[in-house]
Amino acid sequence: MKANPNKRTQRNLRADAATVIFTILEKGQSARECLPAMQELHKDQDKAWLQEMVYGVLRQLPLLQYWLRALLETPLKNKFKITEHLILLGFYQLAFSRVSQHAAVSETVEACRSLRVESMRGLVNGILRNFIRNETSQQTPSDEQINSGLPKWLYKRLAVAYPQSLTDLIQQIENKAPIWLRVNAKKISSRDFQQELSQKGIEYTLSPQHPHALILNKSVDVTSLPGFELGWFAVQDGAAQLAAAYLEPQTHDNILDCCAAPGGKTGHLLEVTHDLVLTALEIDMQRASKIEENLARLGHQATLLIGDASQPQTWWDGKQYDRILLDAPCSATGIIRRHPDIKWLRKASDIQALVTIQHDILDALWPLLKEGGILLYATCSILPEENHQQMAAFLARTANARLDTSFKHDAHQPGRQILPGEQQMDGFYYCRLIKSGENLG
Ligand SMILES: C[S@@+](CC[C@H](N)C(=O)[O-])C[C@H]1O[C@@H](n2cnc3c(N)ncnc32)[C@H](O)[C@@H]1O
């Protein structure tokens, strides 16, 4: 969408934030689908504010809704429904942001005009003023699920999976994620890139476990960093950066990077090893175009296939792979701190469906791996069903699959579960399997 710069000043930020929140929560669109288009209509300094407000409301939603139920007797319906989202935004500004009380109330009330619910102005004004007068924000509920900021189903699952560390886990999920960069070793050395950043006054931290990583100390527009157009770096969380080291591709290996879009791990694999024969497989054509775009910027090449991983007969050339990275479709519960819309878009019923898809893809890919070959299974989930339970079930039904004992598995569980916040990383899961053969044991 091409923005009209004259219109940028006329738009009401709060009305647009409420519209995005409404679109995510009521229409089930992801923030990735609806937020950037809305941001395009605003001036640069307002784009970040818009995201902060939308993400803030999504992070605190159960608490904001609890307050709404206390102050709004009858739920609003039909065209007035969006007013509820506007009020939630008003609460968020008053309780969690540095916006002055006066601006939070008057500007939020004003947004009713842009949303064409002008008749709601009195109601919004009354509720926000009551909120301030009654000090509603200081009334925290005793319900742990509401305070957790998570939907009920997810709270319950995490409480069962992580009874000992639940409070810390919830805190980590609520925190904002830092920006991690991966230096493209084929274009620039880490040291030279660090110098470029320092010259521009951009502060960063290094991570001892990640040879190509930098963590930015402050959030910035990454496209404005030195060397973005030249492909000096990619934006990639530290947990995702472990995939290349864990797969350990060797020169001339025939590699399948399965479920590859937008190509974050594809690029990294091509950076760490020379002369790979790499095939990136992705089911979604639109998302696959992102792989092309990202590889072109970084200066890498791979064979790109559009196909369903669970149906190799439709795309496989019959040459077995030395190594397979299966970055499986998953609940993405490990990256909620980065994309808080995920927790409202996912439903409890999605989990079993995802477990079935992962199961089917694993079974379909296994025959494509050479004897002695390695399959690295990865998800950005923190749910055991998708991770160590999935792996345990696969090992139980697959005679020639075994755990690679050179990989650092968790105690008593196959694979490594990384929880959000661990060494500043996103929540991720990895498990490395070896295909044994007649002579391989
Ligand atoms: C977790 S994302 C992959 C992230 C990617 N590996 C990276 O590092 O940038 C999972 C991807 O799997 C794709 N996908 C889902 N089901 C698939 C299937 N049956 N076959 C192939 N790709 C699939 C999704 O469209 C999505 O792009």
Q: Ligand 1 pocket by C-beta < 6 Å: which residues?
A: 240, 259-265, 281-284, 287, 308-310, 327, 329, 361
Instruction: Report the share of the chain in percent with pLDDT over 70.
Output: 97
pLDDT tens sequence across 17-42: 999 999 999 999 999 999 999 999 99
Q: What does the pLDDT average to over 399-428?
A: 96
Query: Ligand 1 centroid to 260 CA: how many Å?
Result: 5
Ligand 1: residue of 242, 259, 295 to mutate (most ligand atoms within 8 A of CB) is 259
283 shares its domain with 403: yes
pLDDT band at 438 (very low <50, low <70, confident <90, very high): low
327 CA closest ligand 1 atom index: 6
Band the pLDDT of 439: cuts 50, 70, 90: low
CB 157 within 8 A of CB 151: no
CATH number for the domain that contains residue 298 = 3.40.50.150
User: What pLDDT sits at residue 139?
Assistant: 82
**Ligand 1, from 282, 331, 430: best to mutate by most atoms within 8 Å of Cβ?**
282
Domain-located, residue 216: yes
- Among protein residues, the one whose CA lies closest to atom 13 of ligand 1: 259
Query: How far apart are the C-alpha atoms of 248 and 325, rounded to whole Å?
Result: 10
Ligand 1 atom with minimal separation from the 378 CA: 1
Residues 410, 369 within the same domain: yes
CA distance 84 to 112: 11
Do 263 and 137 lie in a common domain? no
**Percent of the chain surpassing pLDDT 90:** 92
Kindly give the number of the ligand 1 atom that is closest to the alpha carbon of 379. Answer: 1
As a residue count, the chain comes to 441
Give the structural domain span for 156.
149-174
62 lies in the same domain as 157: no
Residues 56 and 118 in one domain: yes
Report the range of poorest mean pLDDT among 137-146, 264-273, 395-404, 410-419: 137-146
Nearest to 433 by CA among 398, 390, 402, 387: 402
* CATH number of the domain residue 137 falls in: 1.10.940.10
Ligand 1 atom nearest to CA at 291: 9
The answer to whether residue 50 sits within a structural domain is: yes
Domain count of the fold of the chain: 4
- The model's confidence at residue 138, banded by pLDDT at 50, 70 and 90, is confident
Q: Which residue did the predictor score with more confidence, 135 or 194?
A: 194
152-173 b/e (C-beta count within 10 Å ≥ 16 → b): ebbbebbbebbeeebeebbebb
Residue 330 in domain: yes
The reply to whether 404 falls in a domain is: yes
Going by CA atoms, what residue is nearest to atom 14 of ligand 1? 259
Q: How far apart are CA 363 and CA 380, in angstroms?
A: 20
CB 84 within 8 A of CB 68: yes
Distance 269 CA to ligand 1 centre (A): 16
Point out the ligand 1 atom lying closest to the alpha carbon of residue 329: 10
Residue position matching structure tokens 């504010």: 49
Whether 441 shows a pLDDT value over 70: the answer reads no
Asked whether residue 440 is assigned to any structural domain, the reply reads no
pLDDT of 8 > 60? The answer is: no
| Ligand 1 geometric centre to CA of 328 (Å) | 6
- As a whole number, mean pLDDT of residues 148-166 equals 96
Q: Judge if 169 and 185 occupy the same domain.
A: no
The residue among 216, 172, 96, 164 whose CA lies nearest residue 333 is: 172
Confidence class of residue 136 from pLDDT cuts 50, 70 and 90? Answer: confident
> 392 lies in a domain?
yes
257 CA to centre of ligand 1 in angstroms:
10
**229 lies in the same domain as 275:** no
Is the same domain home to 59 and 170? no
Between the CA of 282 and the centroid of ligand 1 the distance, in Å, is 6
- How many Å lie between the centroid of ligand 1 and the Cα of residue 329? 5
The answer to whether residue 441 is domain-embedded is: no
Same domain, yes or no: 199 and 214:
yes
Which residue CA neighbors atom 15 of ligand 1 most closely?
Answer: 329
By alpha-carbon position, which residue is closest to atom 11 of ligand 1?
Answer: 259
Closest CA to 180 of 228, 217, 232: 217
Give the Å distance between the CA of 244 and the centre of ligand 1. Answer: 16
- Return the pLDDT at 5: 46
Ligand 1 nearest atom to the CA of residue 309, by list position: 20
Instruction: Return mean pLDDT, the chain.
Output: 95
Ligand 1 centroid–CA 317 distance in Å is 20
Residue 343 makes CB contacts below 8 A (sequence gap 6+) with 58, 149, 150, 151, 154, 333, 336
The single residue of 34, 259, 330, 380 carrying the catalytic annotation is 380
CA of 17 to the centre of ligand 1 (A): 29
Is the pLDDT reported for residue 295 higher than 90? Answer: yes
Find the mean pLDDT for residues 313-331: 98
Please check whether residues 224 and 350 belong to one and the same domain: no
Atom of ligand 1 nearest to the CA of 266: 8
Cα Rg of the chain, angstroms: 24
Query: Binning pLDDT at 50, 70 and 90, where does residue 433 land?
Result: very high
Same-domain status, 282 and 378: yes
Q: Is residue 137 exposed (0-12), middle (13-18) or buried (19+ Cβ within 10 Å)?
A: middle
Question: Does some domain include residue 123?
Answer: yes
Q: Is 34 one of the catalytic residues? A: no
For the stretch 70-125, pLDDT in tens is: 999 999 999 999 999 999 999 999 999 999 999 999 999 999 999 999 999 999 99
The CA distance from 109 to 123, in Å, is 9
Is 12 in the same domain as 111?
A: yes
Out of 279, 283, 285, 356, mutate this one to test ligand 1's pocket (max ligand atoms within 8 Å of CB): namely 283
